């Protein structure tokens, strides 16, 4: 059963909430200053006739190729959103999967509206097309991914990509195509009208991606985020298991001909052989792997550019074998879409030893400043920082400065003396915690947390991993994660949700890894084979299972990209599903992203409770909740169909987070 209600203020006493299973992660002020819609007199209309133009459809994973997650639809507004009600529900059948598969699943897909159908992928790499007005199934394609796979990043498919062959005749098979990457590292093309494989693409619709070396186990190498298409080229990244080994699969991004599947180019963020630079200062050319692009990419068709969010090199928590800044790891990299050549690169973390991947889609926006539109790339990060870059050059659009970083490292490690920080935008979530900040349900719980913090290395952001144990705050999973941000150009407002807990990471001498694995068999212990240290990682929680960092444990905020100011910041999520139905607004860790509309609204699921929410984009006020049969760790989308605006979200939960699992694609609309 699905129900909706207008928001009622919640309160109540603090209760025990067991969040130790959460892999994501401050006491924050609320509103930092409300704003109305910015005065746009004297500049072009942001939603039609000016430099920025958005459609009423949703043809890409991020709404458009640049990931704005913005819709020009305004049928649903702050004045009538309280009347929003379920319009239809479609069940994918995921809940009929074996328990062993469901326990390793994450439902994170956003549908697209193309060729008169809503098209999405399931965690198990089925592609499904449904009628936009009724939710009735039109066609279904099964890639037959083995459920015996052991995917390091769970069974995940965040979305698909669409391409229309301008050289094909109307009605020709595969004149329009849907592309999907799979958990067993294939790129698949099917006919967007029928779901049949495109026979001329690769081997009957499939290109198998070669990871370049033998895998330790099936599932070490996956494709979890949607491909992107620029002109006649389809491009995919990869998701690779962290911390298994130093000599690991390459994080190369691969491009293929959209018609034939033939390889066009490959870009490895780590330089090899003679290409090695001063940024990779080992005794020999780099042997490390990864720096892969597991998060969604963006495309600027006019400039012919593809924007990559790259991750850390292997392994995450020891970099002594890869001295230097490790460019182009942990970077926003702009590539020529036809050749794969680097146009520019901006590094958000130098010499990463914290697992601070660039984890979200680079946002390609136009910002109104000093009487003119400026094309930018905005990058939200796990660290809670927001970088805004000039899209043409990669130079900071809002100023960035290098600040001294902690330097107490284990033997053999050579850290960067500085790290980049935005000057105008403060961190959206805290990055420093002291024993006095410790949260606890009881005085004993609070004291235990204070002791854990006191006994750990904790010098603020970029405190290096240690054998003593280091607090990484925000946690390795954010801050912001793959859900990214939404942008309203009329207000210059970027809206982003972030998690707000800490990880405790301890380096383990190589000889002690087997024993630590045996003793801490319920924790994450990884060997980092080839490095002098393995690692152990845990969420920083009290003996009662509560986060030791103070709530809220989830926030949503709006940043003015013209000035860098945080305009508003609010607690996000309740512990209702974790506390026996008590709607305590302590915030929760969150996975999934927001969307924004011309109706002045932000829609988002993402939290650990079972709701789709609507916020007023100008003030951050929460206006509406639509109850869901499962948690929505997927970004919603919106579209117009036969004169009616719908808001759709895939509610299926996330096994690793411990949220409610399900298999419902749900559409809301006004009566």
Element (H or E) spanning 453, and its range? helix 443-454
- The torsion defined by the Cα of 221, 526, 332 and 23, in degrees rounded to 10, comes to 100
What's the pLDDT at 523?
87
How many Cβ atoms from other residues are within 10 Å of residue 660's Cβ? Answer: 18
- CA 504, 510, 516, 521 dihedral sign is positive
DSSP labels, 64-79: STT---EE---SS-TT
Q: What is the mean pLDDT of residues 582-610?
A: 93
Strand partners, 568: 558
355 has catalytic annotation? yes
- pLDDT over 90 (residue 188): yes
Q: What is the mean pLDDT of residues 551-562?
A: 97
What's the pLDDT at 283?
64
Residue 252 sits in a domain whose CATH number is: 2.140.10.10
What's the pLDDT at 109?
98
| Res. 5 pLDDT band, cuts 50 70 90 | very low
- State how far the Cα of 577 lies from the Cα of 230, in Å rounded to an integer: 42
What's the pLDDT at 546?
82
Total length of the chain: 671
- Separation in Å, CA 530 to CA 71, 318, 511, 649: 48, 10, 12, 43
* b/e code 508-536 from CB counts within 10 Å (16+ = b): beeeebeebbeeeeeeebbbbbbbbbbbb
What's the pLDDT at 55?
57
pLDDT per position as a tens digit, 70-125: 999 999 999 999 999 999 999 999 999 999 999 999 999 999 999 999 999 999 99
What's the pLDDT at 581?
60
For residue 74, what are the domain limits?
Answer: 4-669
Residue 397 and residue 344 in contact, taking contact as beta carbons nearer than 8 Å: no
Annotated active-site residue in 242, 325, 352, 355: 355
- pLDDT over 80 (residue 219): yes
Mean of all residue pLDDT scores within the chain: 90
Under DSSP, is residue 576 helix (H, G, I), strand (E, B) or coil?
helix
Domain count, the chain: 1
What's the pLDDT at 281?
76
Return the structure tokens found at 416: 């960067």
For tokens 């068999």, name the residue.
Answer: 521
| CA-atom Rg of the chain in angstroms | 23
Residue 666 and residue 649 in contact, taking contact as beta carbons nearer than 8 Å: yes
- pLDDT over 70 (residue 237): yes
Order the strands of the 566-571 sheet from edge to edge: 485-488, 493-499, 554-560, 566-571
Q: What is the mean pLDDT of residues 148-171?
A: 94
- The torsion defined by the Cα of 54, 59, 62 and 66, in degrees rounded to 10, comes to -60
**What are the φ and ψ backbone dihedral angles of 476, each rounded to 5 degrees?**
-55, -20
What's the pLDDT at 364?
98
- CA 588, 593, 597, 603 dihedral sign is negative
């Amino acid at each position: 059963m699905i129900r909706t209600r207008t928001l009622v203020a919640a309160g109540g006493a603090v209760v025990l909430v067991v969040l130790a299973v959460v892999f994501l992660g401050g006491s924050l002020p609320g509103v930092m200053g409300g704003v109305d819609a910015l005065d746009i007199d004297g500049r072009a209309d942001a939603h039609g006739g000016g430099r920025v133009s958005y459609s009423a459809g949703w043809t890409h994973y991020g709404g458009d190729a640049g990931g704005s997650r913005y819709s020009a639809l305004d049928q649903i507004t702050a004045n009538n959103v309280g009347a929003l009600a379920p319009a239809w529900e479609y069940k994918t059948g995921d809940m009929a999967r074996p328990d062993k598969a469901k326990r390793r699943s994450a439902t994170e897909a956003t549908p697209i509206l193309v060729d008169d159908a809503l098209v999405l992928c399931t965690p198990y790499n089925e592609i499904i097309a449904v009628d936009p007005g009724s939710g009735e199934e039109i066609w279904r394609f099964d890639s037959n991914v083995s459920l015996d796979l052991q995917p390091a990043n769970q069974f995940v498919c965040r979305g698909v990509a669409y391409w229309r062959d301008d050289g094909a005749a109307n009605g020709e098979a595969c004149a329009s195509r849907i592309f999907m990457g799979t958990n067993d590292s294939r790129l698949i093309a099917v006919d967007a009208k029928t779901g049949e494989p495109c026979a001329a693409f690769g081997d009957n619709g499939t290109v198998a991606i070669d990871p370049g070396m033998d895998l330790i186990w099936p599932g070490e190498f996956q494709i979890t985020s949607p491909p992107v298409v620029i002109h006649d080229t389809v491009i995919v990244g990869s998701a690779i298991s962290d911390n298994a080994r130093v000599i690991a699969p390459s994080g190369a991004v691969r491009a293929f001909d959209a018609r034939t599947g033939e390889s066009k180019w490959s870009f490895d963020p780590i330089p090899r052989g003679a290409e090695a630079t001063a940024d990779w200062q080992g005794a020999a050319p780099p042997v490390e792997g990864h720096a892969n692009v597991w998060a969604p990419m963006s495309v600027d068709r006019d400039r012919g550019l593809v924007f990559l969010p790259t991750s850390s090199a292997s392994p995450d928590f020891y970099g002594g074998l890869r001295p230097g800044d490790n460019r182009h790891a942990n970077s926003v990299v702009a590539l020529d879409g036809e050749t794969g050549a680097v146009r520019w690169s901006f590094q958000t973390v130098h010499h990463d030893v914290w697992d601070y991947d660039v984890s979200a889609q680079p946002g390609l926006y136009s910002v109104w400043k000093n009487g003119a539109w400026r094309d930018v790339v905005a990058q939200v990060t796990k660290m809670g920082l927001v970088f805004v870059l000039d899209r043409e050059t990669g130079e900071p659009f809002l100023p960035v400065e290098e600040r001294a970083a902690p330097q107490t490292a284990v033997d053999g490690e050579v850290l960067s003396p500085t790290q980049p920080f935005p000057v105008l935008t403060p961190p959206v979530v805290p990055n420093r915690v002291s024993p006095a900040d410790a949260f606890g349900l009881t005085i004993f719980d609070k004291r235990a947390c204070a002791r854990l913090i006191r006994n750990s290395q904790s010098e603020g952001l970029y405190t290096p991993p240690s054998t003593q144990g280091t607090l990484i705050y925000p946690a390795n999973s954010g801050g912001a994660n793959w859900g990214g941000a939404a942008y309203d150009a009329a207000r210059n407002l970027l809206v982003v949700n972030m998690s707000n807990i800490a990880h405790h990471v301890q380096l383990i001498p190589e000889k002690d890894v087997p024993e630590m694995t045996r003793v801490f068999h319920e924790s994450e212990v990884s060997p980092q084979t080839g490095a002098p240290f393995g690692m152990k990682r845990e969420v920083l929680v009290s003996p009662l299972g509560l986060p030791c960092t103070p709530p809220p444990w989830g926030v949503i905020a709006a940043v003015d990209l013209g000035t860098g100011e945080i305009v508003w910041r609010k607690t996000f999520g309740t512990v209702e599903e974790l506390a026996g139905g008590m709607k305590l607004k302590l915030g929760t860790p969150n996975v999934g992203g927001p969307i924004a509309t011309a109706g002045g609204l932000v829609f988002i699921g993402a939290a650990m409770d079972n709701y789709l929410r609507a916020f007023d984009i100008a003030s951050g006020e929460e206006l509406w909740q639509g109850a869901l049969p499962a948690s929505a760790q997927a970004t919603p989308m919106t579209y117009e169909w036969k004169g009616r605006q719908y808001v759709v979200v895939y509610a299926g939960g996330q096994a690793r987070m411990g949220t409610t699992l399900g298999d419902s694609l749900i559409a809301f609309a006004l009566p």
